[in-house]
Structure 1
Amino acid sequence: MKLYLFYDDGVCAGLGHYRRVRALAHKLALISSHQNSTECVFCPIGTRKLESMENLHTFCTHIKPEETLGAVVDSYVFGVEHFALLDSIFAHLVCFDDTNRALYPQKSFILNGAPNAHKLYPQHTSHHLLGLGFALCDAVFTPITSVCERISDIFVSFGGSDTQNLSGQILPFIESSALFSPSSQDFAPCTIHLVLGRYYPHTPPTHPNLQCYIDLNPAQMHALMQQCDIAISAGGGTLIELASSLIPTIMLESAPNQHFQITQFADIGAFKHAQNLTQIPKLIESLMPKNTRESAKDTLSTLRIGQELESALRNVFDFNP
């Protein structure tokens, strides 16, 4: 049986869409009673030019519905016609969503793993899989419970593309914080660990206090998080990974679709929301006390990230327990 996964790709899309569908494919492989014969067919929309309805029609003519488990879609490029075509072919259709777009077929399942996602869907039904209980996160992102007296390492990531170059812009603001002030009683050498995505289009920054990493896989990302005391991140899938790892985090919006998730994590209280770069130094300073970071980890440890997903997927794809 084949599972088709359609997702936005390329410089403008970054890596978040691919990572979400890959994580879902892995989850389905673990719980599927057909796992020995399941084949995941990854369909990057930009690479295959599937945003063209003509090309998508041609692609779909080679699909045998009776030989498929269904399809998963994570795309802002696809419109009503694209989703309608897939809905006519696949018995099961799961659509990732972040902002309650009114374009999904009635019988499809809508997946939004942001905290309190139900607030976005006033008319939600049993076909809506909403909230942190349905969030996807690679199993490698396990809790990091240790808390150091001082912040000595900062994890920074702005996704797979970072076309705004927040990675470069943020460095002087981090270094203007009390962490880098010799007059501070908490002063100690501090290292910024900057993760650049595969599609990062700018010249990687350099600085004595900076270490850069490019296109890390999930295991490498988590290994780096284990070295760090706090994080600064955009509001996409990395937030779920940081929450699962119990890393106190400052969030900075890099795309409009991240706004809801950022505000909801801020309401939980474990993560801090930077409205702009100028707020970064004060927010770093607010995380310097050890007890503040301990409290953040305690709050994050209560979140039930992804714990409702397995039973939901069994229901969607008609898997037996």
Structure 2
Amino acid sequence: MIYIFTEALVSTGLGHLGRCTALAEKLVENDKNVHLVVHTDESFPKWSFPCEIIKEKWISESNLNVFLQNLSDKTQTFYVDSYKASLDIYHILKKQCSELICIDDDKRLDYPIGSTILNPGYPGLFLEYDKENYKIITGKEQVLLRKPFRNVKKKQEIKTPPKKILITLGGSDPKNLSIEILQTLVNSYPNMEKYLVVGPGFTNCDELQKLADENTFFYRNLNAERMCNLMLQMDFAITAGGQTMYELDICGIPMVVIETAENQRYNIRGFVEFQGVPEIKLNQLNRIGDFF
């Protein structure tokens, strides 16, 4: 039995849930019995999942202990992908499983010794993990892509300058970057088609609607298949520096990236250094047009 512990919150976005969904898909395809345990709020998406979903506030020690006591099989493999879980939570899980796999972006914690650390992407190449006390799995080939992206064929024809541009900043937009980006594009590129993915944690939807011109289109609650199909229609993308970069890359869509959270830094560094993807700093948003 395999349990994947993660979260989907307004404050954390949907990136962790997305890659845990991809992980669950791959495990189920290999005939594993999988449960996805999600600490969530009203931002939980209307996706289809390949396994049972258990909504549980597992980052609470008392809740987690009760949950674990009710498990009949004590030989499970546990995966954990979290911004929120404390080190004590990981130690509780480590004692209750045969293998603990910590999905990590930036050495967030000193995980329990003997755990496996899975850093699925570029960041692990820049972090000095303790390889004596942990099994380390990292690199771009380890990226967890949802099924539509694993089966996709790259887009071959990209219009330059772009006719269609995608703006995707994650599940929430606490810095209101979408406002500044959309305003810049509407003012400077009125003929360009602008496709903005609005996450469940966006609180600026009214302002965005007021800024929109006749060539602005909004998308919400996209599952993996719809998101993949939307990407394949684009000529360019403006994206946050998380999981979406790998999805755009596999679709063959040119992009520029913005760091919207600190744990994206090494991810972005990998795309910049190894693939030449340009990065826009927060104080450079008015220069977006320089990149396409």
Cα deviation for residue 57 of structure 1 reads 0.7
Any conservation in 2 of the 1:83–1:103 contact (CA below 8 Å)? no
How much does 1:286 deviate?
3.2
Partner of 1:8: 7
Residue 135 of structure 2 corresponds to 127
Distance 1:80 1:267 in 2: 32
Compared CA separation, residues 46 and 217, structure 1 to 2 (3 A): closer
Q: Structure 1, unaligned stretches of length 5 or more?
A: 181-188, 288-321
Between the two proteins, the alignment pairs up a number of residues equal to: 270
Deviation at 1:254, TM superposition (A): 0.9
Distance 2:248 2:120 in 1: 14
Match of 1:199, as an amino acid?
G
The 1-side partners of 2:283 and 2:230 are apart by 23
Instruction: Name 1:40's counterpart in structure 2.
Output: 34
Q: Note if contact 2:198-2:218 (Cα within 8 Å) is conserved in structure 1.
A: yes
Residue 174 in 1 paired to residue 185 in 2?
yes
Shift of 1:46: 4.5
What residue is the counterpart of 1:190 in the other structure?
192
Partner-residue secondary structure (3-state), 1:8: strand
Identity of matched residues, %: 29
- Contact 2:75 2:97 (C-alpha < 8 Å) held by counterparts: no
Residues 286 and 11 (structure 1), Cα distance of their counterparts in 2 relative to 1, 3 Å cut:
closer
Determine the structure 1 residue equivalent to 2:73.
Answer: 65
| 2:58 is equivalent to residue 50 of structure 1 | yes
Q: Is the 8 A contact 2:25 2:147 kept in 1?
A: no
Kindly tell me: are residues 223 and 277 of structure 1, through their superposed partners in 2, closer, same or farther at Cα, counting changes over 3 Å? farther
1:117–1:211 distance in 2 versus 1, CA, 3 Å = same
Aligned-residue offset at 1:130: 1.2
Query: Structure 2: any 5+ residue segments left out of the alignment?
Result: 42-55
For 1:264, the equivalent position in structure 2 comes to 270
Equivalent-residue separation in structure 2 for 1:3 and 1:56 (angstroms): 16
Higher alpha-carbon Rg: 1
1:142-181 to structure 2, matched below 5 A, reads: 142=152, 143-177=154-188, 179-180=189-190
Higher RCO (CA-CA < 8 Å; seq separation 6+): 1
Instruction: Describe the superposition over 1:174-210 as per-residue Cα deviations: whole angstroms up to 9, x where unpaired.
Output: 3455x45xxxxxxxx2111000112323325121231
Q: CA deviation at 1:93?
A: 1.6
Counterpart of 1:51 in 2: which secondary structure?
A: coil
Helix, strand or coil at the partner of 1:42: strand
* Distance (Å, rounded) in 2 between the aligned partners of 1:73 and 1:18: 11
1:203 to 201, 205, 208: 205
Q: TM-score, normalised by structure 2?
A: 0.85
For 1:72 and 1:280, how far apart are their aligned partners in 2? 41
> How far did residue 260 of structure 1 move?
1.4
- Partner deviation per Cα, 1:63-84 (whole Å, 9 max, x = no partner): 133463x111111211111101
Residue in 2 aligned with 1:89?
A: 96
Distance in structure 2 (CA, Å) of the matches to 1:174 and 1:278: 14
Q: Is the 8 A contact 1:170 1:277 kept in 2?
A: no
Runs of 4+ in 1 over 6 A off after TM superposition: none
Equivalent of 1:78 in 85, 93, 96: 85
Asked if the contact 2:104–2:117 (Cα under 8 Å) also holds between the matched residues in 1, the reply is: yes
Q: CA deviation at 1:153?
A: 0.3
2:14 aligned partner, one-letter code: L
* Counterpart selection for 1:251 from 252, 257, 263: 257
Question: Which string of whole-angstrom CA distances, capped at 9 and with x for unpartnered residues, describes residues 81-131 of structure 1?
Answer: 110111111112211111113331222211112325222125335711111
1:22 partner amino acid: T
1:149 Cα deviation from its structure 2 partner = 4.1
CA RMSD of aligned residues (A): 2.0
SS in 1 for 2:266: helix
Quote the Cα distance in structure 1 between the aligned partners of 2:100 and 2:230.
35
